Amino acid sequence: MVGIGSRRTIGTAMTYALLVGVSMLFITPLVWMVSTSMKPTTELYADPPRFWPMQPQIDAYGAVMRSESFDFPLYARNTLVIALLSLAGVLVSSSIAAYGFARVPFRGRGLMFGVCLATMMIPFPVIMVPTYMLFKYVGWIGTFRPLWVPAWFGTAFNIFLLRQFYLGIPRVLEESAMLDGCSRWGCFLRIALPLSVPALAVVSLFHVLTVWNDLVGPLIFLSHQDQFTLALGLHFLHSRAGDTPWNQMMAAVTLIVIPVVVLFLMAQKTFIRGITTTGLKG
Amino acid sequence: MVRRIPSWVQGWLWTSPWWAGFLLFLLVPMGWSLYISFCDYPMLQPPVWIGFENYERMFREPAFYTVLRNTMLYAAIAIPAGTVTAVGLAVLLNQKVRGQAIFRTCIFLPTVVPLVATAVVWYMMLNPEIGLVNRSLRSVGIAGPLWWDRACWTMAALVLVSVWSIGSAVVIYLAGLQEIPQSLYEAAWIDGASRWRQFLHVTLPGLSPVILFNVIIGIIGTWQIFALPYVILRMGTGPDQIAYFYTTYLFESAFRDLKMGYASALAWVQLLIILVLTGLVFWVGKKRVYYRGG
């Protein structure tokens, strides 16, 4: 017979074994990516595979950046320019619209907010073709504008996230300020906005990740290689990878992955909070 | 006292960024898209009205049935596989053991990896010759499959990759688990329910609204699958390939063949399919989902 105590110990041991096993499975591709990027060519095809190179080196990073197919500094700069221009727009426009939905009562507000939520369900492929034609019509194809101008009109996801946050701010704060003669705009600027910094952090984090991740937008709207973003540049490198050795390929991938991984590790709590507020209360 | 602006003007002003963007970047493009879905529009000449021709052509085109079958097959495998894995992982990550934060980080981390990077890394991982997976299998005497050459293995690989980036669903389930009152588990324990029975009769009903939400998000997501197969198979997809999905077909019709009218018709049919499927799941789910206090 097994006592309660030892049965619990076995249970905990099994839980640990599962947790360690699953975590290793999830993390292995990323470790393998970094390890491959640091292998000298001679070690790439070693059998059995070595998990960590015997002589780690960073030559592949220099080689892939010198190659004409992958101009990392330029692609990084392009990605950052698009990310910052659109982030500024998202923060300004989404917070204003969200405050309107949260605090300014008017006829049809509920319906309008409902429509706003419903637009989140519309898949991008559905509007891909007409959006392309719209930007072609105004002559923006081959510029960064299609990738950041729409962000200045607020995005449903961020409006929803910020509205939820504003609804959580006690009304008393704004009511007493308004009694003292503060305008609605003043309340927004001096009370709601400073209090919503944590929510704005969530919005910023998600937005930067989205821009970093986006392939379809740059693929459709950009036309010259010197405008490429990191995601598009990597796709381009991979699509003609016949002559790129695996260690250089993985060096390119690592360069793109490291910044988001660092960002995630620094802001893990913000990240998790964002997913749960939009996922559970939605 | 300042003259007060009527409240409806105020409301429309505050929300103007949203509705202006809605008109400009959604309503007008969608209207235009609906119009040209009834036109022959090869981009260089103005659109010519051809009635339902694009829609009729779709149903004559063998490629349409191929992408429909592939996309449905992918959704039918990836959504259940993802749901089971995510719920399982959430339960595991919800156990009260030390070091849980590290395990959680490991499982969420792949979620932030950009899709293109995910595609390239897994393309290498599953390379039949030098990939880690097949080489590890070989070292224990198993011949690994030719992942990207055989239809069924390509499908399996795409599902595997989608499961690898399941992190955000796990976070949502984890939050859902923490909303289930501990007292329910205590009551079940007193009644002598085993861990498995507790999972079936307390955890699953408690999670069911979250599962419904995630399945609906999953349907919308899987019907849009594009970047992953597009990058992995290096654009060279053909109608005979398993990784030829609905959005890939739409994309190629529009931007390779420049058949904007036909592509728009495809887009509207896609929207209709997604609406019907989510509606169906919502309707079936509503009867089975357990809402506490409702």
CATH of the domain at B207: 1.10.3720.10
Q: Does A10 touch chain B (CB under 8 A)?
A: no
The pLDDT score that the predictor gives to residue B136 is 85
Summarize the confidence of residues B37-63 as an average pLDDT: 92
Cβ separation B13–A119 shorter than 8 A = no
- In this structure, are A122 and A222 located in the same domain? yes
* Residue numbers of B between 26 and 55 with CB closer than 8 Å to A: 26, 28-30, 32-33, 36
Taking all residues of chain B, what is their mean pLDDT, rounded to a whole number? 89
Confidence of residue A224 (pLDDT cuts 50, 70, 90): very high
CA distances from A274 to A38, A199, B201 (A): 35, 8, 29
Give the range among A180-194, B234-248, B265-279 with minimum mean pLDDT.
B234-248
Q: How many residues are recorded in chain A?
A: 282
Give the E-state strand segments of chain B in sequence order: 39-40, 48-49
Residue B62: exposure state from Cβ atoms within 10 A (0-12, 13-18, ≥19): exposed
The minimal CB distance from A97 to the residues B18, B107, B270 is found for B18
Q: Does A137 touch chain B (CB under 8 A)?
A: no
Q: Does B76 touch chain A (CB under 8 A)?
A: no
Residue A3 predicted with pLDDT over 60: no
Residues of B whose CB is below 8 A from A105: 7, 11
Q: Does A140 touch chain B (CB under 8 A)?
A: no
- Whether B255 maps to a domain, the answer reads no
Summarize the confidence of residues B111-130 as an average pLDDT: 91
- In this structure, are A257 and A173 located in the same domain? yes
**How many domains in chain A?**
2
- In this structure, are A108 and A235 located in the same domain? yes
Share of chain B above pLDDT 90, in %: 63
Establish whether the linkage from the previous residue to A49 is cis, with ω within 30° of 0: no
H helix intervals, chain A: 4-37, 59-66, 72-103, 109-119, 124-137, 145-148, 156-167, 171-179, 184-187, 193-195, 197-213, 216-221, 230-239, 246-266, 268-280
Domain limits for position B89? 77-233+264-288
**How many domains in chain B?**
1
Confidence of residue A281 (pLDDT cuts 50, 70, 90): very low
CA distance A77 to A72: 8
Q: What is the pLDDT of residues A110-163, one digit of tens each?
A: 999 999 999 988 888 889 999 999 999 999 999 999 999 999 998 899 999 999
Residue A204 predicted with pLDDT over 80: yes
Q: What is the pLDDT of residues A59-95, one digit of tens each?
A: 999 988 888 888 999 999 999 999 999 999 999 999 9
- In this structure, are A93 and A144 located in the same domain? yes
Share of chain A above pLDDT 90, in %: 63
Q: Does A107 touch chain B (CB under 8 A)?
A: yes
The pLDDT score that the predictor gives to residue B294 is 42
The minimal CB distance from B172 to the residues A16, A238, A279 is found for A279
Residue A4 predicted with pLDDT over 70: no
- In this structure, are A88 and A53 located in the same domain? no
* Residue numbers of A between 60 and 99 with CB closer than 8 Å to B: 92-94, 96-97, 99
Residues of B whose CB is below 8 A from A270: none
Q: Which residue of A has its CA nearest to B271?
A: A126
Residues of A whose CB is below 8 A from B263: 129
- In this structure, are A40 and A80 located in the same domain? no
The pLDDT score that the predictor gives to residue A268 is 83
Q: Does B171 touch chain A (CB under 8 A)?
A: yes
- In this structure, are A21 and A86 located in the same domain? no
Cβ separation A97–B16 shorter than 8 A = yes
Q: What is the pLDDT of residues B231-271, one digit of tens each?
A: 887 655 554 577 889 999 999 999 989 999 999 999 999 99
Distance in Å, alpha carbon of B64 to nearest chain A alpha carbon: 16
- In this structure, are A171 and A219 located in the same domain? yes
- In this structure, are A231 and A143 located in the same domain? yes
* Residue numbers of B between 218 and 277 with CB closer than 8 Å to A: 220, 223-224, 226-227, 230-231, 234-235, 246-247, 250-251, 254-255, 260, 263-264, 267-268, 270-271, 274
Q: What is the DSSP letter of B43?
A: S
- In this structure, are A37 and A139 located in the same domain? no
Tokens representing B102?
Answer: 């590290």
- Whether B72 maps to a domain, the answer reads no
Which CATH number covers residue A252? 1.10.3720.10
- Whether B226 maps to a domain, the answer reads yes
Share of chain A above pLDDT 70, in %: 95
- In this structure, are A20 and A80 located in the same domain? no
Cβ separation B270–A134 shorter than 8 A = no
- Whether B28 maps to a domain, the answer reads no
Residue B50 predicted with pLDDT over 70: yes
The pLDDT score that the predictor gives to residue A87 is 97
Q: What is the pLDDT of residues B122-177, one digit of tens each?
A: 999 998 888 889 888 888 888 888 888 778 888 999 999 999 999 989 999 998 99
Residues of B whose CB is below 8 A from A268: 105, 108
Q: Does A52 touch chain B (CB under 8 A)?
A: no
Domain limits for position A159? 65-280
Share of chain B above pLDDT 70, in %: 96
The pLDDT score that the predictor gives to residue B1 is 44
- In this structure, are A41 and A161 located in the same domain? no
Residues of B whose CB is below 8 A from A119: 22, 26
The pLDDT score that the predictor gives to residue A1 is 46
- Whether B86 maps to a domain, the answer reads yes
Neighbours of A167 (CB within 10 A): 12
Residue B107 predicted with pLDDT over 60: yes
Cβ separation A153–B132 shorter than 8 A = no
Residue B39 predicted with pLDDT over 50: yes
The minimal CB distance from B255 to the residues A45, A109, A220 is found for A220
Dihedral sign for Cα A200, A272, A255, A250, please. negative
Cβ separation A116–B21 shorter than 8 A = no
Confidence of residue A217 (pLDDT cuts 50, 70, 90): very high
